[in-house]
């Protein structure tokens, strides 16, 4: 089988690495990928949002399966187009991708199907005064979210009413373009955040692992929100009993609801959760793997991911099950200074070759290029360094030993990935 992975981040590197190890897979291709991914896949110079070109390429190269990493091409209908052209693809249709691409759709969907989530109201741009009045009446803390895809920047968890009103004005003032033409204002949920991933074939779901992300840029959960600065798997707050609740109260109702509404969900459903005193509540759905969560989940997966991907696409997950290595994985993201703001590309990363052969250590590339034998940083998030081990502490130590060998003054990383779970295990 030949598989094409769409995307260019460390998530897609982990997908390529995992698929390349599958006995079913003869060749992995990646569009557009990056220089690090080239070790595990043949790069195809097509941008991940150039969906016409991807469809044309997949047909002419007769690829057996396309695995779509990021949300944008899914929302643009890449999977619909591939299916129409007779190419199998892992990922939801554009209609099913609305669970991520429209927060208004997702919230109303939860209400229709009894899925627990924060109480909310939706406002259109012409209802700015009503939005402001509602926020003033409810008081802070309160959460303001732009409706559409805003690259993780459309959410404000406001500690004060002023901050919330400023977020309303920013969204309706065009800060997120079309994505901010409608907003969701919702109650702030308390608890511990965690993510559960479910591999879905339209009717059945298998738990594709749990993880906890670190969204803030700096140690101690300070600084601006990012795409994610590190993660670990499994998430201890998602005990087997809690996973069962999430599946019964959130994932299975969502699958049944999407099927009933004529948009069955095939692909990976990412449930961003708040685990509070009353149990799990949904913060958001995403319709793809997380980045960096993917980089800590796939190294723990014993079952062949290639086989699972075909199983989901072919609708036969009912006959499959998942096995995991009994280990922990922890990933540290290295980013160019200035991220999540604009960054200067082009600095050299030294020492990467000294990581080759390090025990239970993996390096996934998000944005690198090669220049005369040197590794050059080419974006915001640049690498995810993953350690695995029998305990989370061991996984963390391996990851940071590897990070310490990387000589890159223009980069930064968080030194406290895993702190919450490590503090919990210290007091257990």
290 binds, among ligand GLY, ligand AMP, none (CB under 5 to 8 A by kind): ligand GLY
- Contact partners, residue 357, CB within 8 Å, separation at least 6: none
Chain positions 197 to 226 lying near ligand GLY, rule: CB under 6 A, are: 213
Residue 291 near ligand GLY by CB under 6 A: yes
143 binds, among ligand GLY, ligand AMP, none (CB under 5 to 8 A by kind): ligand AMP
Q: What is the 3-state secondary structure (H, E, C) of the chain?
A: CEEEEEECCHHHHHHHHHHHCCCCCCEEEEEECCCCHHHCCEECCCCCCCHHHHHHHHHHCCCCEEEECCHHHHHCCHHHHHHHCCCCEECCCHHHHHHHHCHHHHHHHHHHHCCCECCEEEEEHHHHHHHHHHHHHHCCCEEEEECCCCCCCCEEEECCHHHHHHHHHHHHCCCCHHHHCEEEEEECCCCEEEEEEEEEECCCEEEEEEEEECCEEECCCEEEECCCCEEEECCCCCCHHHHHHHHHHHHHHHHHHHHHCCCCCEEEEEEEEEEECCEEEEEEEECCCCCCHHHHHHHHECCCHHHHHHHHHCCCHHHCCCCECCCEEEEEEEEECCCCCCCCCCCEEECHHHHCCCCCEEEEECCEEEECCEEEECCCEEEEEEEEECCHHHHHHHHHHHHHCCECCCEECCCCCCHHHHHHHHHC
| Distance of closest approach, residue 229 Cβ to ligand GLY, in angstroms | 9
CA 151 to the chain's CA centroid? 11
| Distance of closest approach, residue 419 Cβ to ligand AMP, in angstroms | 16
Choose the stretch contacting ligand GLY; rule: CB under 6 A; options: 158-166, 175-183, 290-298, 379-387.
290-298
Question: Is the Cβ of residue 143 or residue 352 nearer to ligand AMP in the bound state?
Answer: 143
312 binds, among ligand AMP, ligand GLY, none (CB under 5 to 8 A by kind): none
Binding site for ligand AMP (CB under 6 A): 118, 143, 145, 155, 157, 186, 188-189, 193, 215, 272, 283-284
Residues in contact with ligand GLY, shown as a per-residue x/- string from 235 to 274 under the rule CB under 6 A: ----------------------------------------
Measure CA of the first residue to CA of the last residue in the chain; give whole Å: 47
For residue 369 the two structure tokens come to 């290029």
| Distance of closest approach, residue 294 Cβ to ligand GLY, in angstroms | 8
Question: Is the Cβ of residue 238 or residue 283 nearer to ligand AMP in the bound state?
Answer: 283
| Distance of closest approach, residue 254 Cβ to ligand GLY, in angstroms | 17
Residue 286 near ligand GLY by CB under 6 A: yes
Choose the stretch contacting ligand GLY; rule: CB under 6 A; options: 86-94, 286-294, 348-356, 387-395.
286-294
For residue 201 the two structure tokens come to 């074939």
In this chain, which residue has its C-beta nearest to ligand AMP?
Answer: 284
331 binds, among ligand GLY, ligand AMP, none (CB under 5 to 8 A by kind): none
Choose the stretch contacting ligand GLY; rule: CB under 6 A; options: 57-65, 104-112, 288-296, 320-328.
288-296
| Distance of closest approach, residue 162 Cβ to ligand GLY, in angstroms | 28
Question: Is the Cβ of residue 90 or residue 185 nearer to ligand AMP in the bound state?
Answer: 185
Question: Is the Cβ of residue 227 or residue 411 nearer to ligand GLY in the bound state?
Answer: 227
Is there a contact between 4 and 44 (Cβ–Cβ < 8 Å)? yes
284 binds, among ligand GLY, ligand AMP, none (CB under 5 to 8 A by kind): ligand AMP
Question: Is the Cβ of residue 188 or residue 260 nearer to ligand AMP in the bound state?
Answer: 188
Is there a contact between 386 and 331 (Cβ–Cβ < 8 Å)? yes
* Residue of 228, 257, 280, 306 that binds ligand GLY (CB under 6 A): 228
* Residue of 36, 116, 227, 306 that binds ligand GLY (CB under 6 A): 227
Name the residue among 147, 14, 10, 151 with its Cα closest to residue 71: 151
Question: Is the Cβ of residue 64 or residue 186 nearer to ligand GLY in the bound state?
Answer: 186
Distance between CA atoms of 265 and 287, rounded to whole angstroms? 9
Question: Is the Cβ of residue 51 or residue 289 nearer to ligand GLY in the bound state?
Answer: 289
Question: Is the Cβ of residue 32 or residue 191 nearer to ligand AMP in the bound state?
Answer: 191
227 binds, among ligand AMP, ligand GLY, none (CB under 5 to 8 A by kind): ligand GLY
> Which residues make up the interface to ligand GLY (CB under 6 A)?
213, 227-228, 286, 290-291, 293
């Amino acid at each position: 089988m030949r598989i094409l992975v769409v995307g260019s981040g460390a998530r897609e590197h982990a997908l390529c690495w995992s698929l390349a190890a599958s006995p079913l897979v003869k060749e992995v291709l990646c569009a557009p990928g990056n220089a690090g991914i080239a070790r595990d896949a043949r790069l195809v110079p097509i941008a991940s949002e150039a969906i016409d070109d991807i469809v044309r390429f997949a047909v002419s190269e007769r690829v057996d399966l396309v695995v779509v990493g990021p949300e944008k091409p899914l929302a643009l209908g890449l999977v619909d187009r591939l299916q129409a052209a007779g190419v199998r693809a892992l990922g939801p249709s554009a209609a099913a991708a609305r669970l991520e691409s429209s927060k208004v759709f997702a919230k109303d969907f939860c209400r229709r199907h009894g899925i627990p989530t924060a109480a909310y109201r939706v406002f259109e741009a012409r209802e700015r005064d009503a939005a402001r009045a509602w926020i003033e009446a409810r008081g802070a803390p309160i959460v303001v979210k732009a409706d559409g895809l805003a690259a993780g920047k459309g959410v404000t968890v406001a500690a004060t009413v002023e901050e919330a009103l400023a977020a309303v004005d920013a969204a309706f003032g065009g800060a997120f373009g079309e994505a901010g033409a409608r907003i969701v204002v919702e109650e702030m949920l308390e608890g511990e955040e965690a993510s559960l991933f479910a591999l879905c074939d339209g009717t059945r779901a298998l738990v594709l692992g749990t993880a906890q992300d670190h969204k803030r840029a700096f140690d101690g959960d300070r600084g601006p929100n990012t795409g994610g600065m590190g993660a670990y798997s499994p998430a201890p707050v998602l005990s087997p009993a809690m996973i069962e609740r999430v599946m019964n109260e959130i994932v299975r109702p969502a699958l049944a609801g999407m099927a009933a509404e004529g948009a069955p969900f095939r692909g990976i459903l990412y449930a961003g959760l708040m685990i509070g005193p009353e149990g799990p509540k949904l913060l958001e759905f995403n319709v793809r793997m997380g980045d960096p969560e993917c980089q800590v989940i796939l190294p723990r997966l014993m079952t062949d991911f290639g086989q699972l991907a075909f199983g989901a696409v072919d609708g036969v997950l009912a006959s499959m099950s998942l096995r995991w290595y009994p280990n922990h994985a922890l990933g540290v993201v290295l980013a160019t200074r200035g991220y999540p703001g604009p960054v200067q590309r082009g600095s050299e990363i030294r020492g990467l070759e000294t990581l080759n052969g390090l025990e239970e250590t993996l390096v996934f590339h998000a944005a690198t290029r090669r220049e005369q034998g040197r590794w050059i940083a080419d974006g915001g998030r640049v690498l995810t360094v993953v350690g695995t081990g029998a305990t989370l502490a061991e996984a963390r130590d391996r990851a940071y030993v590897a990070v310490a060998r990387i000589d890159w003054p223009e980069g930064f990383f968080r030194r406290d990935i895993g702190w919450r779970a490590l503090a919990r295990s210290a007091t257990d």
